[in-house]
Amino acid sequence: MWIRGALLAVGFALAMVAPATTAQAQQLTFAMTNDSGQDIQIEFYSEDRNHAWPGGNQAYNLARAR
């Protein structure tokens, strides 16, 4: 009977640790097409950190589709 309680305790401990781990992507690719008729610039912002890409008051240029 104590084995069942021990397994339950281990399962509970693992369940509490699992949500605390985070996965980080090494690379993320976006495919975008600009159909606006004008050249545009794009900058990405993090929702939960104070971070932007490419950062440093820069932006990615996206020429209009031809």
Q: How much of the chain is in helix, strand and coil states, percent to nearest 5? A: 30, 15, 55
Residues 32-59: pLDDT tens digits? 999 999 999 999 999 999 999 999 999 9
Of 17, 21, 42, which is closest to residue 31 (Cα–Cα)?
A: 42
3-state secondary structure of 9: helix
Cβ neighbours of residue 42 closer than 8 Å, sequence gap 6 or more: 32, 59, 60, 62
pTM of the model: 0.53
Residues 1-31: pLDDT tens digits? 567 666 666 666 656 655 556 667 788 888 8
Region label for 37, one of left (φ > 0), alpha (ψ between -120 and 50) or beta (otherwise):
left
